[in-house]
Amino acid sequence: MKFIWKNIVCHFGIPREIISDNGRQFQGRKIQEWCRGMHIRQRFTTVAHPQANGQVEVTNCILVQGIKRRLEQVGGNWAEELTSIMWAYRTTARGSTGDSPFLLVYGTEAIIPAELGIPSHRVMNFSEECNENLLRKNLDLVEELREKAFLCMQRYKSIMINSYNKRVKSRSFQVGNLVLRRTDSLKPVGNLDPTWEGPYKITSIIGKGAYELEDPEGRSLPRPWNAHNLKKYFAQQDPSEGSSTHRGHPLLKSSEGSSTHRDHPLAQVL
């Protein structure tokens, strides 16, 4: 709550909603009550699917790489280096927009230490009067600059989506479908543990491959799940009684009551 207040509210005002992962620090009673009091809507990404909050995850990955490079120098005290790493990120042009985040916010590039060691043109020809006029002109053009960056980002995103779609087959479900849920997305499993559990029933479609589920007892799962961690469940029909049996579990009961693995090649021989 302190971070949200100091770094978000005090700089940019009260946000309409906050999107976060499913960490405990975002699900506690205190922060939920605080958000309700500030009229902030909390939204959570799908479980075990960081791509749902891709823009944040990409930024975090870059920051983590910067922290790793400095760990030996700072002796593990990475928190002290975080401000410098974020400064480097903000003043570096991004491939998706073609400009630095600093430029898109303030309308001008920041003066970095490299420009002092080897003076750049604007440092050598600095004039206080001209500088003030140039800053005002830059502010007039900042909206045009942001629109250009937005178009570049959309084009970059389109290229990435097309590349991804060529390699990945989409998976979609409908309300009422029965699905199995991947277990290794929740916690590590052993070699002989089942990798899927269920079935669960899809109760609603959130959008972009996210679904809300309920268990066989009718209890709703607290968080939505992405299609990447789901697969369709097919019940085996009993020709004599017309009933169905669970095929999702790796061990199925045979007619004699013993347990056999239906998918194992040796089971077909036996």
Residues in the chain predicted with pLDDT less than 50, given as ranges, are 243-270
Q: 249 is written with which tokens?
A: 């579990």
| pLDDT on residue 187 | 61
Rounded to 10 degrees, what is the CA torsion of 48, 54, 58, 63? Answer: -70
14, amino acid identity: I
Pairwise CA distance, residues 89 & 83, whole Å: 10
Is residue 19 within 8 A of residue 43, CB to CB? The reply is yes
| pLDDT on residue 240 | 55
| pLDDT on residue 239 | 52
Is residue 90 within 8 A of residue 75, CB to CB? The reply is no
- Domain residue ranges of the chain, discontinuous segments joined by +: 94-168, 178-269
What are the start-end ranges of the H helices in 108-212?
114-117, 121-124, 128-167
Measured CA distances, 83 to 55, 195, 227 (Å): 20, 41, 37
| pLDDT on residue 27 | 85
